[in-house]
Structure formats: C-alpha cells, structure tokens
Amino acid sequence: MALAERLPRFLTLRGWGLAAAGILSLLGAQFLGRRDLLYLGILLVLLPLVSVLVLRLVKPRFTVHRTFAPQSMETGSTTTVTLSVASDSPLGGSVVMRELLPHRFGDAPEFHFPAAHPTPSGVSLYEYRLRSTARGVYDVGPVTAGFTDPFGLGISRHTLGGTDRLVVTPSPLDLPSSPLTGVRGTEGHAVTRRNANPSDDDVMTREYRHGDPMRRVHWAATARHNELMVRQEESVTMPEATLILDQRQTSYGSGFLSAFGDPDDDGGMLSSPTFEWAVVGAVSIAAHLLERNYSLRFLDETGAPALRRSVSAPWPEDEEFSGQVGLHGISQGLAALELVPDPSKRPTASRKRPSAPVPPVRSSSASSVRSSAGGSASGGSHLVQRNGHGYGGLPFGDPMLDKLAGLKNRGPLIALLGAISEAEARDLGPASEYGSQSFAILVSERPRDLHGVMDILRGAGWHVVAVNPNASVAAAWAHFDPAPVGATSSTAKTTLAPGTVGSGAAGSAGSVASGRSVGFAGAAGTTGSAGSAGSVASGRSAGSAGSGASGRSTDSPGASGSVISGGRT
C-alpha cells in the first residue's frame, strides 16, 4: 500500500500492473526472440497510455450548485449545506466525489455520483451539516472527483464548480435589563417637540389645511371650534446610543492565529482571547440596544466606522444602525473583524482576503475649538498620517472627540476597550461629557493592573469596569445597573461571573464627590461597600474572608469602578 501511494496518480493500480506486465513482455521478447511477446508487450504498454491520453482530452462537464440554510450562522449553531450536481454529458459509471472544507470543519464528505435517487431532471442532491465554534468567513468547496476510463486503467482528477463563502457571526448573549433606564425612557422612544409626518397621535390641534388627510380630523375639537380641526403630530424619535470598539493589537496583547487555523488555508484572522471577548460584548450590547428600538452609532477608537476594515461587512462605511437590519449588518461585519496589527511587530503571514483599503481620516487642526453646544469651529484641516494605530487618525484623538461633540447628550456612550495606557485614558476622558451617561468596559488578561487607567476614567466621569476574558459579559453589563430607588446609600450593583472570588463596587452621591471601594480576593473574598451620601462623601471598607482576601477603599470623584474575573461567557 505504501508503494501504491508513491506511484504517480495518473494511472490506477490496474493500469500500473498492466504497464508492468507489458514491460516484462518486451524484455522477454528481447531475450527469447519471441515475436508474440513483442506484440503483447506493446499492447499492454499502449493501453494505459491511451487511457491517460483520452482522459486528458475528454473533459467532464458538471454543474455544481451549493446553498446554505441558513445562509450565515452564529457560532455554536449549525447550517445545512445542500449540494446539487448534474452532468452535462453522459457518464458511463459511478464517480466518487469529495467536497473540500476548511480544516476546522473536520473530514471532507465523500459521495457517489449519480445518487441512488436523482431528480427527474437527472440532478443528484446531497446534504451535510456544518458547525463552527469560531467566527469567521470560510470558503466551502470546490468539489473534486477522480474520473477513470471504461477499463479502469487511467485516472484524471478534476475540480468541479467553485467555492461559496460561509459567514459565521458571533452569537449575541442575553444581557440583563438595560442599565440605561431613565436615559431616554424604557419604551425605546422619546417624544420631541417638532412637527413630523402623520404617524403618531397628539392632542394638539390646528386648523384643517388643504391636503391634510381626513383620518387626522379631530372631531371633538371640530365640534368645539365649529370648523375642521386636525391633530398636530409630535414626532416620536428613536433613542440613540454610541458604541466604541477598540480594535488595536496593542490594546489586546499579542495577536495570534488561534482556533482560526492557518490563514492561508482556513480563513485565519489576527485575534486574541481578549479581543474575542470584546467582539462578543459588542454584538451582545448592540443586540440589547437595537431590540429596544435604539439607534446605534458604531465607531472604532479613531471615531471612524467600526466595520470599515471588515471584509464581511455588508456596509463597511456605515456607522449608524437600527432595527433588525442594523443588527444583521453589525453581526455580519463582526464576523471577519480583525485586530489592527501592531507595526512594532513583524507582519503576520499574508491572508487570502486582504482588508479593503481605507482612505485617510481628516482631523481638525490644533487651532479648532470644540464649542459647548457640541459643534466645532472651523479652523482648517489636515490629513492625519497613517500610523501604528490603524488606517488613519490617532486613537481617542480630535476626530473622535469632534464627532462625539456633535452628538452631545443624544444618548449613552459605551466604550469596549483593551488594556489602554494611562495617556490614552486621559485622551478618552473628556469624551464622557458628550454622553448622557458614559460607560467603559476594559478587557485584559490582568485587569487588576488597570487601576490607574480606571481612576483616570472615573475622575473624568466614566462608569468603569475591568474584566478578564473568562468573565461573563452579562456580569460586566449588570455592573452598570443603577442603584435601587430609595436606597439610603448610593451604591453601584456588581454582578460577578461564576468562580469570581472578590469584587468592589462604588457609589456616587452628594454635591461634590462620591465614595468607592474595590475588593481584592485570594481564595475567597467579600464585596467592598461604598461610602454614604453627603456634601463630601467618602467611604472606607475592608474585606476579610478566606486565606488571601483583603479590601480597601479610596475617595474618588465620579462614577464607579470594579474588577470582574471568573467564569466563562
């Protein structure tokens, strides 16, 4: 068998055996002087060669069509692949075909053509299922087949059809009730005092004007005024939110080709466990808000559209999303979103699907001034040079702040960040004033090393929580839940993931400052408590449980901050 595998593939074992017999016959004819052996040897050698020549000249023609149901799938789910194969020319026997798959999907399925029960039109249908636990864009196919001659001497391998792209999107996780309650209401809409298209009833009335639809006539007001009166509508607008996703390799540690495999063969992407946590967090928060009728603006760390580098994004230059269509666009875009490589490291292996080029970002010059109303004064512009932070623009720089300034107080601001530096935290800090509330989630393998960053963000007015990749996304989100109404002490609730040994929570009350406490734990720990309210509030608490537990608290103005670690999402 080992010898058969080393033989060239253009002949079958039967063909090689026949050729070997022909060579022996020729040798026998040479030594024995037998003419009959000479004729036999020539025949035995020519038959395999003629078979190979015929197979090379006669190309089989097949029509291959592949469909996925569903067309794209979430991680952890399955999709059914239906393969239809039809021959455009008569085929004299059965052919073994093989569907090529990325390595992560396991062994490639094999099937015989024609099928046992083809359709009346002669089409053979085959089905199999695929499942993936990692997001990405994968090329499925093509079909390969080995064709032999009627005598089974030669073999010719052909590729049939092309490949089809299967998109595996990150699966959104269920999050607890929105911590944004009270920002723009719990019904997913907010009323504004401006005229709108006739869609929502309003008690305000005005005189009937030519062209007003009769369905808008307010009959009670008409009777009172003795003239036709119609309802003057108020517009019911969607609440807004802004989500920022840091995408730099420098923020999420060393990039690696993890479970995605070889980038040249298996659709590999530059990622890391912390970035995968951030991606799942982003799609979960997006689904949570969009399902509650929010309009979501999705940006990267430079203020550019967050999905502009994703080859799977249906609308890479879009930054505003709403409804189920918007959620579909975000999920599709996050499927192939990669880290922006760190220029200080050597570039990784070339990828089959290079990212699309992105034009440079224009930034306001240093002389431009951000107005208190949220706009920016004209002051010229210049091109920001491309640098190690991406395709243009500094992270958390003027372009992003200018964009957020134009959206001041339109809704909450949420930032999913890696292990940013303290200098970057100082750059990001002022952005908190542009959100009605500002929340930051820091993802790091060592979240307890980020206390300096957290203190800077808290001091600027951000609500902050730091997590590691094993923490629950729902726990991080629940950390931002507001304090219960009527509570005597203003404390921020913290929900810990399974396996967490300690946590801290902070309060915010009083006219000047608020108290916070952060708990640390070894084998076991207790949750730190917050300071009570007052004109200058501060609190001190100590956790004491287990072999390595301790707690401390410090006074800090602003909102809350905690460290969460533990069970997997």
According to the model, what pLDDT value does residue 481 have?
Answer: 65
Q: What number is the average pLDDT over the span 489-503? A: 34
What are the sequence ranges of the domains in the chain?
Answer: 2-57, 62-168, 191-237, 240-468, 470-569
Considering only residues 203 and 209, tell me which one the structure prediction assigns the higher pLDDT.
209
Measured distance CA(205)–CA(247) in Å, rounded: 51
**Mean pLDDT, the chain, integer:** 75
Q: Is residue 421 pLDDT above 60, yes or no?
A: yes
pLDDT digits (tens, 9 = 90+) for 182-191: 444 444 444 4
CATH of domain 62-168: 2.60.40.10
268, two tokens = 């590999």
Number of H helices, E strands in the chain: 11, 25
Q: Is residue 429 over pLDDT 60? A: yes
- Predicted TM-score (pTM) of the model is 0.70
Q: Do residues 147 and 95 lie in contact, with contact meaning Cβ atoms separated by under 8 Å?
A: yes
pLDDT value at residue 561: 53
Comparing C-alpha atoms, which of 155, 31, 38, 24 is closest to residue 93?
155
Pick left, alpha or beta for residue 35 (phi over 0 → left; psi -120 to 50 → alpha; otherwise beta).
alpha
Residue 562: per-residue pLDDT: 58
| Tens of pLDDT, residues 241-265 | 999 999 999 999 743 433 343 444 4
Does the pLDDT value for residue 521 go beyond 60?
no
What strands lie across the sheet with 124-131, from one edge to the other?
62-69, 78-87, 124-131
From the number of C-beta atoms within 10 Å of its C-beta (0-12, 13-18, 19+), residue 115 rates as middle
Residue 237 pLDDT > 90: no
Q: 37-51, 229-243, 366-380: lowest mean pLDDT where?
A: 366-380
**Residue pLDDT, tens place only, 131-159:** 999 999 999 999 999 888 888 888 888 89
pLDDT (average), residues 379-389? 37
The residues pairing with 513 across neighbouring beta strands, listed in sequence order, are none
Instruction: Provide the pLDDT for residue 484.
Output: 41
What does the pLDDT look like over 473-482, one tens digit per residue? 999 999 886 5
